[in-house]
Structure 1
Amino acid sequence: MTKSRRALLPKYVTLLFLCAAMNVTAQNNMKRNNLLQVNMEERPLSTVKVVEIEFKGGQKGAYHKHPCPVVGYIVEGTCLLQVEGEPAKVLKSGEAFFEPAETPILHFDNYSDSAPLQFIAYYLLHKEEELIELLPKVGK
């Protein structure tokens, strides 16, 4: 190594440590909010499909179920969600939800008659081809 390169080595090492320290500081300043934690039965996972869905004011979701677990996030608006066997709940923008596999969804409705509802659904798939199965209305 040449004399000039040896002289620069401590400066490079110092710069490297400063960059690493700045990165740690930046990560320490991050804010994390736990939106949802669900304990699920073990199942294989081969694909995650992420879908953005929009409902118009007053639009109601069909009585349905999914062959896979679904995790979601309300981007805009308010949603009435009721999973069979659970009480209905109103979800607002910024909240997350979970729909278990093979469990009927009694309500997934836009809670507002005028404002739109926008949400992101994460389908946790393992070789399933269909994302949703519409159920006969008798159960609703």
Structure 2
Amino acid sequence: MKKLLFIMSVLITGSAAAQTPPARKQLLQQILPATTVEEVRMDEITFAPGQGAPVHHHPCEVYGYIVSGEILYQPAGEAAVLLHAGDAFRETAGREITLFKNAQDDQPATFVAVYLLKKDQPAIIIKK
């Protein structure tokens, strides 16, 4: 009888835990422009202290997430913003990014970028 009560207790506790939904935090919601996505590429990129990207644009939509550190981010025509760990961002296809730089001089910054590409499309185009 004790064994049966123990098994029932485990089953009840286990099923209650299985019904508890996971914690969910929405980071970004964006309506996609009309486009054809044939390939998704996801990169984890780490900038050394003070390092940044040259002026560039992406021929595709890009969605990003700051994993650690702080990034100074400025699309053309907008004010620069400071992105912190846990922040998400969007880079519009074709829009020039004039500043994307690790804001800290003493530690690296890491972010994840998701590129919504067409087949054989480059992910980034550096301004010459």
- Equivalent-residue separation in structure 2 for 1:63 and 1:111 (angstroms): 16
Per-residue deviation, 1:129: 2.5
Say which is worse superposed, 34-43 or 44-53, in terms of deviation.
34-43
Deviating above 2 A after TM superposition, structure 1's stretches of 4 or more consecutive aligned residues are 18-23
Change (3 A) 1:46 1:21: farther
Partner of 1:67: 59
Aligned length: 118
Larger Rg: 1 or 2?
1
1 or 2, which has the higher strand percentage?
Answer: 2
1 or 2, which has the higher helix percentage?
Answer: 1
Partner of 2:93: 101
Q: Deviations over 1:25-54 (max 9, x none)?
A: 232xx2211111222311111111011101
- Matched residue of 2:20: which SS? helix
For structure 2, which runs of at least 5 residues remain unmatched after alignment?
1-10
TM-score by length of 2: 0.83
Q: Percent identity?
A: 38
- Equivalent-residue separation in structure 2 for 1:129 and 1:47 (angstroms): 9
Query: Contact 1:58/1:112 (CA < 8 Å) preserved in 2?
Result: yes
- Matched residue of 1:80: which SS? strand
Q: In the TM superposition, what are the counterparts of 1:1-140 in structure 2 within 5 Å?
A: 22-23=17-18, 25-27=19-21, 30-136=22-128
- Equivalent-residue separation in structure 2 for 1:22 and 1:77 (angstroms): 35
Change (3 A) 1:20 1:44: farther
- Matched residue of 1:106: which SS? strand
TM-score by length of 1: 0.76
For structure 1, which runs of at least 5 residues remain unmatched after alignment?
1-14
Give the superposed CA RMSD.
Answer: 1.9
